[in-house]
């Protein structure tokens, strides 16, 4: 691996610039630990502040890197992972737990901070993710899927590898130990609500601390007497604190935008958090006892994952912005052309049924997005939806006259429909829970969607008349649904859900009576595609774990589930062209490129080869043009020293 060193000259220049900016603006200048042009994500600094672990794109997936705190002397701890996860350090900073996915959906590994062999802690067909390390060193809390769609919290003994479920009935708990290891906080997820609880170190004697049902991400104060958390009781996220021995909670932030990710300073006097106020995503700090919020960053980049380094006043975080634009490419000659301007950041898109237009999200920053429509042939765009909220996941109706999208303008994510020609949007759902992933029925009369209303930890499927009316529940899995696909050919609906044998993610066909008929449970199903159906609807493309590990693509019967493998490791099937001649697919893991399979002879043709990722695409009606989003993902680890900023402030 290339050794990255932060040389003395670089440090001197960074600190000189820091002094200039602090003198002019009062805000500290960040020191960028990651080199420019890279993408480092989900970093975690060790408790003593001496090391950092983070994920970076590798040659065959994501690599987990461990380095000194300044990112010097890095080494690869795990490679070829198909997904990333949080890093949980041990109290002594000598090792950490992480969910790796080189040969399964997610298993927990214990990895030494220094170079050396890793130890597999779990090994099951399900997924397991670590949550917290007991400060006394001997146990780990984690979450795992089980049969029947059950997601449970567990405590595992690191010496024996034996897991025991948290003795809590009802909502799925995410457990984090107190600083002294004598208690655990529990983020209880269930029935479309999230509440904060506390129990002893074994999960016994749980008692509820919050009751609003919209509380998330509880974090212990350093002395173990309080919990900071995010509450949406006012309609948007704010930072609150509550004593673990009872008493009234106190509200620390009150902005109309989202505040989240509270993190205590080592002395317990300050709480850092992320805020979307001002249509930006910046870092702030607030006195833990209450008082004015203090801005830390003020730029167009999006900050995330704040964490105090050791016992210092240094705050580390991720910063950067994803540059995403719409492009079109023709399969016959591979020619590309850009559709959207450099100045726009684009989100999800959809092509009209006649192939003439594409509707897409314009990401304005700070949790705000618009919807625009632009001709595929090129030309000026027009704004369809604008506002002060997110407007996402636009999708044309089969006749092209309407567009469904999701918006949180009413306080939570709901379904809305608007004429494609423009006009007033109509609200289809109005629940305090989260409704999303809308898909049209083949005849355009109904919209299927997911909702966590009354279920946990994922969703069930509902449907609502496109003209308006009462939603109807379609599945009753108890919240095991994590994906679905509605056929655009017939009335079939296919459900991806957690809870097969050993906790696998399986694919089923929805029967008229609401029951699920399993089609694929041989390996974990990783994804289904909205337009991954043959023109007759008798076969569908799915992505599933290969027998030897890693994702691959299959074409299976929609009635029997029998089929054949079409693609190898690291290749993922997507959508059919409308005539069924071509089947698009992605190759790569950390960076995705587009290709197509010629269904006449089975030959493959790579369409793109760039350092960016082609993250989403749609076929047009000519069966030769693909509109896709190209993303340049750049996330850097940065650090600011808040000593001067907080010196004159009252904690």
CA distances from 53 to 74, 111, 142 (A): 9, 11, 19
pLDDT the model gives residue 411: 80
Percent above pLDDT 70 for the chain: 94
> What's the confidence (pLDDT) of residue 170?
64
Please name which of 56, 30, 612 lies closest in space to residue 323, comparing C-alpha atoms.
612
pLDDT at position 151 = 77
Q: Stretch 328-339: mean pLDDT, rounded?
A: 95
| Model pLDDT, residue 122 | 85
Tens of pLDDT, residue by residue over 563-579, are 999 988 878 889 999 99
Q: How much is the average pLDDT of 60-67?
A: 91
| pLDDT computed for residue 169 by the predictor | 66
Which residues 6+ apart lie within 8 Å of 616 measured at CB? 348, 349, 628, 629
User: In a 10 Å sphere around its CB, with 0-12 CB exposed, 13-18 middle and 19+ buried, how is residue 442 labelled?
Assistant: middle
Backbone angles phi, psi at 191, to 5 degrees: 65, 30
What is the C-alpha to C-alpha distance for residues 279 and 366, in angstroms, rounded to an integer? 4
d(CA 531, CA 31): 45
Does 169 or 627 have the greater pLDDT score? Answer: 627
Mean pLDDT of 367-377: 94
Does residue 7 register a pLDDT over 80?
no
Contact 333, 339 (CB under 8 A): no
> Which of 185-194, 226-235, 530-539, 630-639 is predicted with the least confidence, judged by mean pLDDT?
185-194
Instruction: Say whether pLDDT at 9 is over 50.
Output: no
pLDDT exceeds cutoff 80 at 631 = yes
Residue 410's pLDDT band, with cuts at 50, 70 and 90, is confident
pLDDT of residue 546 exceeding 90: no
- Residue 432 CB neighbour total at 10 angstroms: 15
Secondary structure class of 641 (helix, strand, coil) = strand
Are the CB atoms for 55 and 39 separated by under 8 Å?
Answer: no
* Eight-class DSSP state of 146: -
Dmax over Cα atoms in the chain, in whole Å? 72
For the segment 338-371, what is each residue's pLDDT rounded down to a tens digit? 999 888 889 999 999 999 999 999 998 888 899 9
Burial class (CB in 10 A: 0-12, 13-18, 19+), 144: buried
What's the rounded mean pLDDT across residues 463-481?
92
Give the model's pLDDT for residue 22: 56
Phi, psi of 631 (to 5 degrees): -120, 135
Average pLDDT, the chain: 89
| Residue 148 DSSP class | G
- Extract the tokens encoding 347: 């989100």
Per the model's pLDDT, the better-predicted residue between 507 and 144 turns out to be: 507
Residue-level pLDDT at 8: 27
For 247: left if phi > 0, alpha if psi spans -120 to 50, otherwise beta; the answer is left
DSSP letters of 240-270? EEEETT----EE----SS-EEEEEE-TTSSE
pLDDT for res 55: 95
> In what side-by-side order are the strands of the sheet with 402-407?
391-396, 402-407, 414-419, 426-427
Tell me how far apart the alpha carbons of residues 370 and 301 are, in angstroms, rounded to a whole number: 19
Of 630, 647, 642, 649, give the one whose Cα is nearest residue 316.
642
Which pTM does this prediction carry? 0.86
Quote the Cα angle for 471-472-473, to 5°: 125
Own/partner long-range contacts of 149-153 (Cβ < 8 Å, ≥24 apart): 149/477, 149/478, 149/479, 149/480, 149/497, 149/498, 149/499, 150/499, 151/456, 151/457, 151/458, 151/498, 153/186, 153/203
Asked if the model's pLDDT at residue 262 lies above 90, the reply is yes
Model confidence band, residue 102 (pLDDT cutoffs 50, 70, 90): low
pLDDT-based confidence at residue 30 (cuts at 50, 70, 90): very high
Cis ω before 513 (30° cut-off from 0): no
Token representation of residue 33:
């630990």
In the chain, what are the helix, strand and coil shares in percent, each to the nearest 5? 5, 50, 45
Q: What is the pLDDT of residue 115?
A: 84
What Rg do the C-alpha atoms of the chain give, in angstroms?
A: 25
pLDDT of residue 17: 36
Q: Does the pLDDT of residue 16 top 50, yes or no?
A: no
State mean pLDDT over 491-504: 88
Q: How confident is the model at residue 641 (pLDDT cuts 50, 70, 90)?
A: very high
What end-to-end distance do the CA atoms of the chain give, in Å?
44
Contacts with 572 (C-beta within 8 Å, 6 or more apart), sequence order: 526, 527, 543, 551, 552, 553, 585, 586, 587
pLDDT of residue 590: 77
Say whether pLDDT at 457 is over 90: no
- Checking phi first, is residue 646 left (phi over 0); if not, alpha (psi -120 to 50) or beta? alpha
């Amino acid at each position: 691996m290339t050794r990255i060193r932060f040389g003395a000259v670089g440090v001197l220049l960074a600190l000189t610039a820091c002094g200039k900016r602090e003198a002019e603006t009062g805000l500290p200048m960040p020191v960028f630990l990651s080199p420019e042009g890279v993408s480092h994500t989900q970093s975690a600094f060790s408790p003593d502040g001496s090391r950092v672990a983070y994920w970076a794109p590798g040659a065959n997936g994501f690599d987990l890197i461990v380095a000194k705190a300044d990112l010097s002397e890095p080494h690869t701890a795990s490679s070829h992972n198909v997904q990333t996860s949080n890093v949980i350090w041990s109290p002594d900073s000598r090792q950490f737990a992480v969910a790796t996915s080189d040969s399964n959906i997610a298993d927990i590994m214990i990895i030494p901070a220094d170079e050396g062999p890793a130890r597999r802690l779990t090994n099951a067909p399900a997924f397991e993710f670590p949550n917290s390390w007991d400060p006394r060193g001997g146990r780990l809390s984690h979450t795992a899927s089980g049969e029947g769609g059950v997601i449970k919290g567990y405590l595992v003994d690191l010496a024996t590898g034996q897991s025991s479920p948290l003795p809590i009935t009802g909502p799925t708990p995410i457990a984090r130990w107190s600083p002294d290891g004598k208690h655990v906080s529990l983020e209880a997820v269930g029935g479309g609500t999230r509440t904060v609880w506390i129990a002893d170190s074994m999960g016994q004697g749980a008692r509820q601390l919050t009751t609003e049902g919209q509380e998330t991400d509880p974090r212990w104060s350093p002395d173990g007497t309080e919990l900071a958390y995010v509450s949406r009781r006012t309609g948007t996220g704010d930072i609150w604190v509550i004593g673990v021995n009872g008493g009234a909670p106190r509200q620390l932030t009150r902005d109309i935008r989202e505040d989240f990710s509270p993190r205590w300073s080592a002395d317990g006097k300050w709480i850092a958090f992320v805020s979307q106020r001002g249509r930006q995503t910046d870092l702030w700090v607030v006195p833990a006892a209450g008082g004015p919020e203090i801005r830390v960053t003020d730029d167009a980049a999006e900050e995330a994952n704040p964490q105090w380094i050791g016992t210092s006043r240094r705050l580390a975080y991720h910063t950067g912005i994803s540059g995403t634009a719409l492009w079109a490419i023709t399969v016959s000659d591979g020619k590309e052309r850009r559709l959207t301007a450099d100045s726009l950041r684009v989100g999800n898109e959809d092509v009209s049924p006649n192939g003439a237009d594409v509707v897409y999200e314009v990401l304005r920053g700070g949790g705000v997005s618009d919807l625009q429509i632009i001709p595929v042939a090129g030309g000026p765009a027009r704004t369809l939806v604008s506002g002060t909220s997110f407007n996402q996941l636009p999708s044309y109706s089969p006749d092209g006259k309407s567009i469904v999208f999701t918006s949180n303008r009413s306080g939570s994510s709901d379904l809305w429909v608007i004429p494609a020609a423009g006009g007033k949007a109509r609200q289809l759902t109005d629940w305090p829970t989260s409704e999303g992933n809308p898909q049209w029925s083949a005849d355009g009369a109904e919209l299927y969607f997911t909702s966590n209303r009354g279920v946990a930890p994922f969703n069930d499927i509902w449907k609502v008349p496109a003209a308006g009316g009462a939603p109807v529940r379609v599945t009753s899995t108890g919240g095991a649904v994590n994906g679905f696909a509605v056929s655009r050919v017939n009335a079939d609906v296919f459900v991806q859900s957690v809870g097969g044998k050993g906790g696998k993610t399986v694919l089923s066909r929805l029967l008229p009576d609401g029951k699920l008929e399993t089609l694929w449970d041989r390996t974990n199903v990783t994804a289904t595609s909205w337009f991954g159906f043959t023109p007759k609807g008798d076969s569908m493309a799915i992505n599933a774990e290969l027998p030897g590990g890693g994702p691959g693509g299959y074409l299976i019967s929609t009635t029997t589930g029998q089929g054949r493998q079409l693609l190898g490791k690291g290749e993922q099937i997507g959508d059919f062209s409308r005539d069924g001649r071509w089947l698009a697919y992605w190759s790569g893991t950390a960076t995705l490129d587009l290709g197509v399979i010629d269904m006449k002879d089975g030959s493959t043709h790579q369409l793109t080869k760039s350092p960016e990722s082609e993250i989403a695409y749609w076929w047009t009606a000519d069966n030769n043009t693909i509109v896709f989003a190209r993303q340049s993902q750049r996330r850097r680890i940065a650090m600011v020293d808040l000593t001067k900023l907080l010196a004159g402030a009252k904690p």
